[in-house]
């Protein structure tokens, strides 16, 4: 089902039912039908090339129809640990980051819902609103190793296939036992939003880790102490 060069099935994926015989050979010449909805949740403060690469590579490897970059309204594990940009500013940056990239969308679902953000609520909503879509919860390997700290994390396995992408400094993360999961290799990009905020603080440029449209949003909104000059 998936190109084996970049995708490792960690545990068995649910297979489409109702396929009883091989398809007509002409179908092999047709591009694969894109199905499935990927969800890459995050704080995106700011969004960077690592987020975009993860979303694009997973969409391509798993032939997903769309990947939503799901902007957390109140990322409770980060709240209070450092100043966070407003959710509306983070959404505007993500929206700018995905412009012109096929199949990627910024989602304000969690912001519109308001309150503390739990992925379980998001997946339950998507499961009900799009019952025919298979859901793929995309996480970097750092997030994968911390999955057990997520609110009601055990219920996530019934709603989505877990997709783990390697992240520098944290590789070979394994899914919780028994979960339906795949690993997708992406070019390793040793970059994080934290490092980018540090870069701004020390006067170093954000390019090329953050695209021009995102930098325009940062400047026009005066984020991270940067302003239009």
Using CB under 6 A, list all residues that contact ligand ATP: 40, 42-45, 50-51, 54, 139-140, 142-143, 165, 167, 189, 191-194
Tell me the closest approach of the beta carbon of residue 3 to ligand ATP, in angstroms: 19
CA dist., res. 31 & res. 68, Å (int): 22
Cβ-contact 38, 66 below 8 angstroms: yes
Q: Position of tokens 């021009």?
A: 212
Tell me the closest approach of the beta carbon of residue 13 to ligand ATP, in angstroms: 20
Task: Extract the tokens encoding 214.
Answer: 């995102």
Cβ-contact 60, 163 below 8 angstroms: no
Residue nearest to ligand ATP (CB): 140
Residue nearer to ligand ATP on the CB measure, 45 or 110: 45
Residue nearer to ligand ATP on the CB measure, 40 or 123: 40
Tell me the closest approach of the beta carbon of residue 94 to ligand ATP, in angstroms: 10
Residue nearer to ligand ATP on the CB measure, 36 or 41: 41
- Collect all residues with Cβ–Cβ distance below 8 Å to 111 and sequence separation of at least 6: 71, 73, 87, 88, 91
Tell me the closest approach of the beta carbon of residue 217 to ligand ATP, in angstroms: 16
Tell me the closest approach of the beta carbon of residue 20 to ligand ATP, in angstroms: 38
CA dist., res. 51 & res. 28, Å (int): 32
Residue nearer to ligand ATP on the CB measure, 18 or 80: 80
**8-31: string of b/e by CB count within 10 Å (b at 16+)?**
eebeebeeeeeeeeeeeeeeeeee
Residue nearer to ligand ATP on the CB measure, 6 or 20: 6
């Amino acid at each position: 089902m998936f190109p084996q060069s970049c995708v490792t099935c960690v545990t068995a994926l649910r297979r489409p039912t109702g396929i009883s015989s091989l398809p007509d050979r002409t179908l092999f010449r047709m591009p694969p039908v894109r199905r499935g909805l990927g969800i890459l949740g995050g704080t995106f403060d700011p969004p960077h090339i690592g987020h975009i690469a993860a979303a694009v590579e997973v969409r391509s490897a798993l032939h997903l129809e769309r990947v939503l970059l799901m902007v957390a309204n109140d990322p409770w594990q980060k709240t209070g640990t450092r100043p966070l940009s407003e959710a509306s500013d983070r959404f505007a940056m993500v929206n700018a980051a995905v412009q012109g990239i096929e199949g990627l969308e910024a989602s304000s679902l969690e912001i519109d819902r308001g309150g503390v953000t739990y992925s379980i609520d998001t997946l339950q909503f998507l499961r009900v609103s799009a019952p025919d879509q298979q859901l793929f919860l995309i996480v970097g390997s750092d997030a994968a190793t911390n999955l057990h700290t997520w609110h009601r994390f055990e219920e996530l396995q019934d709603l989505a296939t877990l997709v783990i992408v390697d992240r520098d400094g944290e590789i070979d993360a394994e899914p919780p036992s028994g979960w339906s999961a795949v690993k997708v290799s992406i070019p390793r990009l040793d970059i994080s939003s934290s490092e980018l905020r540090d870069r701004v603080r020390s006067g170093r440029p954000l390019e090329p880790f953050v695209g021009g449209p995102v930098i325009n949003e940062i400047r026009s909104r005066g984020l991270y102490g940067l302003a239009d000059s």
